[in-house]
A = this chain, B = another copy of it.
């Protein structure tokens, strides 16, 4: 019998054998390619339709190409990937279903709004560390056109956006996880709870998600008995400017100052002033593509030795918004570390 206890604290997991991040791939749209991380993405698509006839198919193509690239960069064939953990923002997660069907790999469909990359990395790492798979793929995507249609208005309506709104990233990020290889590893997780402060403004999702990010980060500190300075960086998903400030305030109230070691994927991906993206970037593809193109390289190079990656999600739908419901948030924490030479941390 061999069941190692890997649960720590109230809602965290510490892997006895950390899980390797073997490869990462990211493909984004034109606007993202023009942002500060432009050079760091694997590919930038000049055509927002990615050669298809609908926003939905465009997003599926984005996800399909990114998956293929991540598998190739890991030096693997698609049949070697045991399971895919995939999700997106569309109703019934159709971008993923249609995007990865052709690979004929067993798949678990996920929904955690923009926190889904955290969920995909978490469940994928649990599968590898549990002995259920040698290699898995974790992937998410979003597309500005499909998301505006899904949650707001058709693009041609030309509606105005308040300054608190975020800009949905056209992009996809994917990682191949496995038992060995690569220079980064997932050492632990803090699974998020649904946190609802009763906010109802879907044009200010940073404010809706900040309490969930605070909850997960605080719980991570408790469960692992850590302080902010134990992380070289805490990287949230897509809180944007307003959400970041709220997160800082909420954690200060609890006695933790993360201001010196915090950034947000939604703030890194665009030059907000030049690109008119208002509060920042958002979407399943935001945290995923920034993780792959910005966070992973800094871990591999040793600039950051340990990062707490916390993708954040706003759990709303058109229907709940129209029915006047609040926008609860969720955030999943993933501890990513540089691998030490020649062995396990």
Residues of A whose CB lies within 8 Å of any CB of B are 1-7, 11, 13, 16-17, 54, 56-57, 82-83, 87, 89-94, 97-98, 100-101, 104-113, 119, 122-123, 126-127, 129-134, 149-150, 179, 191-194, 196, 315-320, 323, 325, 328, 330
Contact = CB atoms under 8 A, between A and B. Distances in A.
A54 B6 contact: no
Given A7-B132, A126-B127, 5 more contacts: A3-B179, A54-B323, A98-B325, A107-B192, A130-B131
Contacts of A323: 54, 56-57
Given A7-B133, A196-B101, A83 B191 contact: yes
Contact of A91 (B106, B108, B317): B317
**Max chain B Cβ within 10 angstroms of own Cβ: one of A133, A316, A319:** A319
A9 to B, nearest CB: 11
A56 B320 contact: yes
A111 B116 CA distance: 12
A317 to B, nearest CB: 4
Contacts of A132: 6-7, 13, 126, 130
Contact of A123 (B2, B104, B123): B123
Contacts of A328: 97-98, 101
Contacts of A317: 90-92, 94
A319 B16 contact: no
A162 to B, nearest CB: 21
Nearest to A189: B132
Nearest to A122: B108
18 contacts: A3-B130, A6-B131, A6-B132, A7-B133, A7-B134, A11-B82, A54-B323, A83-B191, A89-B92, A90-B317, A91-B318, A92-B316, A92-B320, A97-B328, A109-B112, A109-B330, A110-B110, A111-B111
A83 B192 CA distance: 9
A328 B104 CA distance: 12
Given A132-B126, A328-B101, A107 B3 contact: no
**Max chain B Cβ within 10 angstroms of own Cβ: one of A17, A111, A320:** A111
